[in-house]
A and B are shown apart, each in its own frame.
Chain A
Amino acid sequence: MKRIFALMLGAALVLSGCSSSSSESGSEAESKYSSDTLKLYNWGEYMGENLISDFEDEFGVKVIVEYFDSNEMMYTKLQAGDAYDVLVPSDYMIERLMAEDMLMELDHSKIPNLSNLAENLTNLDYDPGNQYSVPYFWGSVGIVYNKNNVPLELLEEQGWNILKNTDYKGDVYIYDSERDSFMMAFKALGYSMNTEDEAEIQAAYEWLQELNDTMEPTYVTDEVIDNMMSGTKSLAVVYSGDAAVILDENPDMGFFMPMEGTNLWSDAMVIPANAENPELAHEFINYVLTYDASYGNSEYVGYASSNQEVLDAMTGEGGYYADNEAYLPRDGYEKDEIFKDNEVLKQKLAELWIKVKAAQ
């Protein structure tokens, strides 16, 4: 989900493709949409190589892309008044943006390709009926393990607790995010990851503290992808799509989703209320849902497509990710949960997470 690497606070790289070989001339595009420029704000490394240039060529427009590396960073910029036409936040953030009236209701007549959506993504809790959001990618969180060093039976037996197995001391990557870390702690202890119970939060905090004290873990974000590709450590907490890329590159690696449950998430395209070019934004959302665009995205980035046909093609016989156990998230397992937006809880966890990491 956060494959952005070379970008940090304030260093938003502005990438604007050239649209020299337009099939429509700029002025034509301008009369059809309010301007010929689309401002897209997306995760880094989250698009197929040709997505933007193909869209530009096909519609004779220019796309300005900026990248964020966390939902919170995106939210902060949005609050500061920056105007974008399309954003790709995660489920809980969409829930918050909706609650704060920061999104525009989608005009389904302008997105005919909505019918391409995978069925399990058409009625998500945070936005039933896709009134405000159209899923882009979806996935889960699991453990990437080196099959030579970690037996699958042990993973099945210990689940998330294998990250506290001192046989693997100093051999563990933990994803540096309060949400994902507390998720695994809550799940390991058998709680809901949306709990507000003080005692449960305290127990999860202690679970993480113990992990920090006994395991010498390394907290990483996107470095985990390269490092697990080269097999630096035996165990790592990784998002499913990133795991798919790792497995694709290094056949020694396997992907495991603990039976205690995990987080199922989705990132979806939305149009903010202050968008300057909503017409073109609808056009872009519709374009991403096409088979070719979605296939290009999914193949390159490794996350599960929101387009049912692409999913079938990828996982079906001979498909690009057919033998990849990380590509397709587990669906319909009762212990898997989706994050609910809960600002109070999130802040509390963030507060505790920095304390877990700071203790040495």
Chain B
Amino acid sequence: MRHFKTMLYPYLVWIGIMIVVPMLMIVMYAFTQKGNDVTTFRFTLENFAYFFSDAIFLDVLKRSLWIAILTTIVCILLGYPTAYFIANARPNWHMRLVLLVTIPTWINMLVRTYAWMGILQDDGIINSFLGLFGLEPIKMLHTSFAVVLGMVYNFLPFMILQIHTSLTKMDKSLLEAANDLGADRVQRFLRVTLPLSMPGVISGITLVFLPAVSSFFIPKLLGGGQFVLIGNVIESQFLTSGNWNFGSAISMIMAVIIMISMYITKKVDRNVDERGV
């Protein structure tokens, strides 16, 4: 295998240019003052201090985490039964159902989110339908309901596919063994299926939580301009206020939070593994 190693080099160069360098630049921006040029750097912790000293930013951070957690929970609640159903469907239906879950992701996320705007708005599809029965329109667009709905809709396939994969990989003979040993359906699910599918749930959580916590266009479109999440604050730092240093600092804070949450999920995962086997 050794001579294959050289084939890795292009990839390493690619990673270096596309991932490592930009990351280093973000770190550099985050710890420096505005208006640096190549020769002078003035290091500072001001950007971080500004973030943590302002209650508004902390509120935004809390709100973003809360929305992301809510999205993740809803995704598990909807995704697990769906994945379970697909995994236990008849073989000839299996691939078709997986395809049904995947097809929406072939369409651009932005376009699908715009479609939701048309469905939810005050004179949109739902409210026009209610209007036929003489009902007053319900305000749905520009609420947190719309934002969570949009996120769940966009990220649910990730959850379903992950759980589905781990459910299909499961050794069915374990269930037969449990059955022989006298476990009923509920016990079989709780003590065999659920623990064995946890790795899928965990990676599903990672795949849903990460984009949900940093999404900026879903809150912008479905929540309206007044629904500000941390992704929107970062976006505004780069696009409107032009304060790249502060924007980078917030990005770094988010990166740290995400790393911590990944560490925790990994840890939970390991504990589950130990119990499960």
| Chain B positions within 8 Å of A70 at CB level | 239-240
In the complex, A9 Cα to B235 Cα: how many Å?
A: 10
Are the C-beta atoms of A230 and B239 separated by less than 8 Å?
A: no
Interface assignment of A142: CB less than 8 Å from any CB of chain B: no
| Residues on the B chain within 8 Å of A357, using CB | 225-226, 228
* Range of interface residues on B (Cβ < 8 Å): 20 to 34
Residue B166 at the A interface, CB < 8 A? no
A354 contacts B239, C-beta separation under 8 Å: no
Partner of A354, one of B114, B122, B123, B236: B236
From A72, A219, A230, give the contact of B225 (CB < 8 A): A219
**Which among A178, A232, A354 is the interface contact of B232 at CB below 8 angstroms?**
A354
Report the separation of the CA atoms of residues A308 and B243 in the bound assembly, to the nearest whole angstrom. Answer: 41
Cβ of B217 < 8 Å from any Cβ of A?
yes
A8: Cβ under 8 A from any B Cβ: yes
| B273 in contact (CB, < 8 A) | no
- Whether A218 contacts B226 by the Cβ 8 Å rule is yes
Interface centre among B236, B240, B242 (most CB of A within 10 A): B240
Q: Output the least CB separation between A68 and chain B (Å).
A: 11
B233 proximal to A (CB < 8 A): yes
A218's partner among B217, B225, B241, B242 (CB-CB below 8 A) is B225
| Chain A residues in 8 Å Cβ range of B217 | 8-9
Contact count band on A: 20 to 34
A351 near B243: Cβ-Cβ < 8 Å: yes
Contacts of A178 in B (CB 8 A): 240
| Interfacial residues of chain B within 20-79, with CB under 8 A of chain A in the complex | 54, 56-57, 59-60, 63
Whether A73 is near chain B, meaning CB under 8 Å from some CB there, is: yes
User: In the bound complex, do residue B57 and residue A220 qualify as a contact, i.e. CB atoms below 8 Å apart?
Assistant: no
Q: Binary interface profile of A, 315-345, with partner B (CB < 8 Å = 1, else 0)?
A: 0000000000000000000000000000100
B195 partner residues in chain A, CB cutoff 8 A: none
| B57:A358 contact, CB within 8 angstroms | yes
Query: Which residues of B sit under 8 angstroms from A8, Cβ to Cβ?
Result: 110, 217, 220
Give complex CA distance A278, B247 in Å: 36
Q: Which residue of A lies closest to B232 (CB)?
A: A354
Q: Mark A1-39, 1 if CB is under 8 A from B, else 0.
A: 000001011010000000000000000000000000000
What are the residues of chain B within 8 A of A109 when measuring CB–CB?
none
Q: Which residues of A contact B114 (CB under 8 A)?
A: 6
- Whether the pair B224, A220 counts as a contact (CB closer than 8 A) is yes
Tell me the nearest residue of chain B to A76, going by C-beta: B239
Q: Are B123 and A232 in contact (CB under 8 A)?
A: yes
Contact A350–B142 (Cβ < 8 Å)? no
Given contacts A8-B110, A72-B242, contact A358 B225 (CB under 8 A): no
CB-CB under 8 A from A354, the residues of chain B are 228, 232-233, 236, 240-241
Given contacts A11-B110, A354-B236, A358-B57, contact A219 B224 (CB under 8 A): yes
Contact call A217/B226, Cβ cutoff below 8 A: yes
A-contacting residues, B170-213, CB 8 Å? none
Q: In the complex, are the beta carbons of B59 and A360 less than 8 A apart?
A: yes
Q: Which of A76, A218, A351 contacts B224 (CB 8 A)?
A: A218
CB closest chain-A residue, reference B243:
A347
By a CB distance below 8 angstroms, the chain A residues around B122 are: 227, 232
Residues of A contacting B239 in the complex (Cβ-Cβ under 8 angstroms)? 9, 70, 72-73, 76
Interface members, chain A 230-261 (any B CB < 8 Å): 230, 232
Q: Once bound together, how far apart are the Cα atoms of A29 and B114, in whole Å?
A: 41
Complex interface: chain B residues within 8 A of A6 (CB):
114
Determine the chain A residues whose CB is within 8 A of the CB of B224 once the complex forms.
Answer: 218-220
Interface flag for A110 (CB, 8 Å): no
* A347 B225 Cβ-Cβ under 8 A: no
Flag if A72 contacts B228 (CB, 8 Å): no
As a 0/1 sequence over residues 166 to 185 of chain A, the CB contacts with chain B under 8 angstroms (1 = contact) are 00000000101010000000
Q: In whole angstroms, how far apart are the Cα atoms of A220 and B114 in the complex? A: 14
* B contacts, CB < 8 Å to A: 54, 56-57, 59-60, 63, 110, 114, 121-123, 142, 217, 220, 224-226, 228, 232-233, 235-236, 239-243
Q: A219-B226, A357-B226, A360-B63 are in contact. List 18 more A-B contacts (CB 8 A).
A: A9-B217, A72-B239, A72-B240, A72-B242, A212-B226, A218-B225, A218-B226, A220-B225, A232-B122, A346-B242, A347-B243, A350-B241, A350-B243, A353-B240, A354-B233, A354-B241, A355-B54, A360-B226
